[in-house]
A and B are shown apart, each in its own frame.
Chain A
């Protein structure tokens, strides 16, 4: 058992390469001048600068959260570069003008940029370090009235929309890292689906951290108007560096009456080596607001990377009959630490939520599920079902669950179940007696364990996620 496990655990990071592109970088450190610099570099309007400064002032009064079940050396916020952008000499007119080095990087990552994008049916708003370089399929989306662009572009082109919704779900002072993000965010995606429009394709953004020591502060805002629906994919890989990189993103989703937003993530950032050196600190605030009646927000995540993951995609179910969903697979290996889960806040009548969380820990890792289900006094007829299963591979890892359940309305029904298990010898024996090797058997068992979540992923992601788990655990059983 243990040798296969060990091999699996010792799988090197496959996306560890650095693209040599000259980056325009701001001096290290954080102060009002840096924020003004970011704002002026991006040619932002006055209100956005005020938004940033307000967030910064608030951030100064806050302290980093201590409650999560993770341990790390304190982040030195003055040692981080808050602005890094690939140098652009002139405006790019077509894909041919994009830096070939950059294109090669995407090639390695398998981003379907041009024809391949068309075949794959994916519009990719590529984020490279902090500035969007190329956006495809814009026209096709524009035809149906969908706005899908980088958030800086949205600030320029659609300031009234951004101003209306930015910070409406995650306020500037929401938490330490969200405040930091609000102060210094450099880019991200903006997506607006107008009334009654069903997005004709799955929208996707590949994030990539490139310049060493530059924290990524992405800001994503997705608004679905009445009756609109969209499926959004977020995939992440990052090159291999030894110093920890901070990633503090904020994602805001707004769903109006009868709107439907599905947000899927595959996160495979650098997790540090087998000794726990390096890796990304992934401190993310994701929240969706079901503002309208019958609206629905669904989060699906496959978290396999990052040294530390601190992430709670949440749903605030304000509209009557609105639905929130959270499907998660979190795999930790070596010295990775994950404290992840969700919050479902039921405010509207007859709101429903489903939580399915699968945690797999191997090596010396620490995997925690932390969740909150709150049924407000106004939320009559609310319904929640939660299931958190953990699987342990090896004896040095740990799995924890911290589910908070807070019910203030008697007509609500809340159910929570959790189990912990391991891969049974008898299960392995069964596979092997049928001629299936231990490693493949483990992979199949794990995939079976995660089935409920993978089913929620869009097709391409489901395939990728299945492979990813296999890779991550390769050689950890024997």
Chain B
């Protein structure tokens, strides 16, 4: 379906850079990268003629002139103090696509774990991970996030060089109390970044991950992120995804999650930044009784576009999924949500519920939402709901009758609308900070 169009300059550059990457000593990695590069060469940037990109126009991205980041700028702790999470047991910081050891802590070590480990619990760069967990990476890296049909994950995989990615391994039955913070900082304009995260939770393990994209520039750049999460039987991963890129940036992300029998995945995804952001969230239940909870919040204004495409694939019986996606759209912003729920033949007793709730707060705001169900099993419970509208007049009246001025009542209700998602984040300091951010944004409107 992809229409062949002229190749933007940056795509040609990125492809060429993919070719120029030094070979790894690992044959399988070279092979996987070569496959991805081959796909990246064959595929083009999608246009709005592609059903999957119907509402999100990447045309502005064509104008970009992007380069691979030159030498990473040196930044100090003070520059990123705003993003510090005191609760984090370990922090990995990547500046312009390069791991910054001086800003990171807790890396490599076994952190605050209880329970036995087989492969060891560790947080490291992919470069180190390839040395210590070669077999594990071969099994997972680039396997969950398919790149056959999509140019962005293909490019990311072709660019995989280890130092731009984080590896989190939770050993068997390891329980990580403190969250892990992976912070990707962009400091320069006109660069293309390909951040990468791989999380492998072995059976019975539990952990929390904060995947955080921030910016120290106001410039335009491209972040093309891929995050893969593999959760073995009875393990649990709580994944928080924050996107606070520069308001000129383009953020395109693929998150692929694979769950084995009785595995659990919780996720909160918050999008505040970027001129254009697109998140592809692919959840695959590859065993019985997998349990998924997905929360999303996009708070956008100005000319921003925030697009979330989620796909939940119920392939086995007794699967469960609860999804809530919210957007608050102001200015001339445009929010897009496409939530696909697939119940395959044999996935009996699946219970899947999806909500898409959208709040329009300005006359030029726009929302496109498409909750989509595809069901091939007869004994299932599936529901979806979508609402688009403004604040409830009765709620406003109630608050005004209690003496709140109109504007304050509106702000409070708008804030409460978004807070439902934020409050589910398991890190206290982050909840507080995000609530302040949301309140400030709402006030500004």
Contact = CB atoms under 8 A, between A and B. Distances in A.
Contacts of A409: 360, 363
Given A395-B377, A410-B362, A420 B382 contact: yes
A417 interface: yes
Q: Dominant SS at the A interface?
A: strand
A421 B383 CA distance: 9
A413 B390 contact: yes
B360 A407 contact: yes
Contact of B386 (A393, A408, A412, A415): A415
B404 interface: no
Interface string A390-401: 101111111111
B226 to A, nearest CB: 27
Given A394-B378, A409-B363, A403 B389 contact: no
B361 interface: yes
A398 B372 CA distance: 13
B388 A420 contact: no
Contacts of A421: 381
A408 B370 contact: no
Contacts of B378: 392-395, 397, 422
A419 B384 CA distance: 7
B345 interface: yes
Interface string A371-400: 000010100000000000010111111111
Q: Dominant SS at the B interface?
A: strand
Contact of A400 (B368, B373, B387): B373
Given A420-B375, A420-B380, A407 B370 contact: no
A432 interface: no
A416 B366 contact: no
A420 B386 contact: no
Contacts of A420: 373, 375, 380-383
B385 A398 contact: no
Given A400-B373, A405-B368, A412 B388 contact: yes
B386 A405 contact: yes
A298 to B, nearest CB: 23
Nearest to B363: A410
A67 interface: yes
A417 B382 CA distance: 11
A402 B372 CA distance: 5
B250 interface: no
Nearest to B379: A422
Given A398-B375, A400-B375, A420-B373, A407 B388 contact: yes
A407 B386 contact: no
Contact of A403 (B345, B365, B372, B377): B372
A410 B329 CA distance: 9
B374 to A, nearest CB: 4
Nearest to A402: B372
A416 B356 CA distance: 9
A93 to B, nearest CB: 57
Contacts of A455: none
A139 interface: no
Given A67-B51, A397-B378, A405-B369, A418 B383 contact: yes
B398 to A, nearest CB: 18
B219 interface: no
B254 interface: no
A353 to B, nearest CB: 13
Contact of A401 (B365, B369, B373, B377): B373
A410 B367 CA distance: 9
A419 B382 contact: yes
B271 to A, nearest CB: 19
Interface string B392-408: 00000000000000000
B277 interface: no
Nearest to B380: A420
A418 B384 contact: yes
A414 interface: yes
B358 interface: yes
B376 interface: yes
Contact of A416 (B365, B380, B386): B386
B106 interface: no
A399 B373 contact: yes
Contacts of B365: 408, 410
Interface of B: 51, 55, 345-346, 358, 360-390
10 contacts: A67-B51, A375-B388, A392-B377, A392-B380, A395-B346, A400-B372, A405-B370, A407-B360, A413-B389, A416-B385
